[in-house]
Structure 1
Amino acid sequence: MRRKLTGALLTLLALTVLGPGTAASQVSELSELSEQDGSGRLLRLFDGRGLTGWSQAGPGGFDVVDGVLRSRDGMGLLWYSARQFADYELRLQWRVSAPTDNSGVFLRFPDPGDDPWVAVNQGYEVQINDNPAGDPQKTGAIYNFQQPRTQASRPVGEWNDYRVRVIGQRYRVWLNGVLVNDFTSTDPARGDRGHLGLQNHDPTTRAEFRHITVRELHRR
């Protein structure tokens, strides 16, 4: 019978395999995984062909072009209406076509109907915006709540990897393998489960998304 590794054993394993200079963040993540290894199956939310399970709130939308989601017009919200999620890890790739492009990934908001502002006011947005002259909240920010620790975006036109881990009221964001935000919510207006969504921000932005997956996490 295969047994789960304890946090202490994983810490020892990290130091043994990775060496005594292993960063505390790496050891911490290994330990955390030991507490979350009741993970559910991987759910692919976008198959590269259609928008089954998704709905649009507000103006504009997303088109499926060459296997990716491409935004147009706005401001609107493409949201995964098939179901809600509580604790999970979201993985996706995104890219923009110009330095001024603006978009975002929304987390844990209730059914918005046709109003994209429900996601803004009752969920959390992980920002996508590297415009040096635009909104001061840059890529990796928890919009209106916490700025990113550092900038880790790739050049315009290249794909970026977002990994977002949501457990309880803690929200962590990795951009291209770099932890750029570690935020703990204290706002009672934000719930502990909800829908996921992608923002089509404005008519001049062309943001693209692909490889959108969620793995649910089950706390002990």
Structure 2
Amino acid sequence: MTRRLASLSLAVFLLPVFAGEPVALFDGKTFEGWEGNTGSVWRIEEGALTAGSLEKKQEKNDFLATTKEYGDFELTLKWRLEGSEGFVNGGVQFRSKRIPDHHEVIGYQADLGAGYDGALYDESRRKKMLAQPSKEVLATCQKPVGEWNEYRIRAEGPRIQLWLNGVQTVDYTETEPGIETRGMIAVQIHGNATSVVQYKDLVIREL
């Protein structure tokens, strides 16, 4: 009996570990596990999901999304953004949905670029900034344009936390009823800008 109880206890203890193993969302070579405009907008360069050009303007927002949905998770990734004119911006969507027959998605976005690094935005739903770091906090974690940055995004129940380059920039608790708690993850290039955005090393751990 004691041996059986010990074995059961060990199994219960190990279950969350196996259930929450880190998984790479992007293999650095193919679009396996992703869907979107892979022929006209998104491409793979230097092992990164890449969109945009420094010679030609991106006319409208575009999103490359995972084929799988996620609820509670912790996601880490690296991103890089540079541009010459317009609203040079991107973002990482989560708990999001595509709008049918439209180029937009709705859901939470870890914003980046155009002065919004480290901020949490509600894309195409409430269309407002939900939380953002102070200038003082941002000054401790922003990198020069063109350098790789790292995002850590944690969504657990109503609580959402963001870290930019190791510094926490957002700790937000959702209070509005009816907001989706599960959805796809997507990366964005913002429209109306001449810019290039890249994302790589996307690793998720479900909670």
Structures share fold, TM-score greater than 0.5: yes
1:136-174 CA-partner distances (Å, limit 9, x unpaired): xx1111112112242122111111110001100100000
The aligned amino acid for 1:90 is L
Aligned to 1:45: 25
Higher RCO (CA 8 Å, separation ≥ 6 residues): 2
Aligned length: 175
Aligned counterpart for 2:206 among listed residues 199, 209, 216: 216
The aligned amino acid for 1:44 is A
1:71-99 CA-partner distances (Å, limit 9, x unpaired): 12331111112x11111001000011247
CA distance in 2, matches of 1:46, 1:85: 15
CA distance in 2, matches of 1:179, 1:76: 27
CA distance in 1, matches of 2:203, 2:197: 18
1:30-76 CA-partner distances (Å, limit 9, x unpaired): xxxxxx8675121111111111111127x963210121111123311
Aligned to 1:197: 186
CA distance in 2, matches of 1:53, 1:112: 20
The aligned amino acid for 2:32 is T
Is the CA contact 1:106–1:124 (under 8 Å) kept in the aligned structure 2?
A: yes
Is the CA contact 1:109–1:190 (under 8 Å) kept in the aligned structure 2?
A: no
Is the CA contact 2:120–2:130 (under 8 Å) kept in the aligned structure 1?
A: yes
| SS of equivalent to 2:65 | strand
1:140 to 1:178, Cα distance in 2 relative to 1, 3 A = same
TM-score between the two structures when normalised by the length of structure 1:
0.71
CA distance in 1, matches of 2:70, 2:151: 17
CA distance in 1, matches of 2:175, 2:40: 33
Aligned to 2:120: 142
CA distance in 1, matches of 2:158, 2:144: 32
The aligned amino acid for 1:129 is G
What CA RMSD, in Å, does the superposition of the two structures yield over aligned residues?
2.5
1:188 Cα offset (Å) = 2.5
| SS of equivalent to 2:69 | coil
Aligned to 2:51: 71
Aligned to 2:112: 128
Asked if residue 107 in structure 1 is aligned to residue 94 in structure 2, the reply is yes
Aligned to 2:35: 55
CA distance in 1, matches of 2:155, 2:40: 28
| SS of equivalent to 2:105 | helix
Task: Could you tell me which runs of 5 or more consecutive residues in structure 1 were left unpaired when the two chains were aligned.
Answer: 4-35, 132-137
The aligned amino acid for 1:212 is L
Aligned to 2:13: none
CA distance in 2, matches of 1:161, 1:98: 19
1:215 to 1:66, Cα distance in 2 relative to 1, 3 A = same
The aligned amino acid for 1:115 is H
Is the CA contact 2:83–2:194 (under 8 Å) kept in the aligned structure 1?
A: no
CA distance in 2, matches of 1:155, 1:173: 19
Stretch of structure 1 that moved more, 110-119 or 140-149: 110-119
TM-score between the two structures when normalised by the length of structure 2:
0.75
Is the CA contact 1:173–1:179 (under 8 Å) kept in the aligned structure 2?
A: yes
Asked if residue 206 in structure 1 is aligned to residue 187 in structure 2, the reply is no
1:162 to 1:114, Cα distance in 2 relative to 1, 3 A = farther
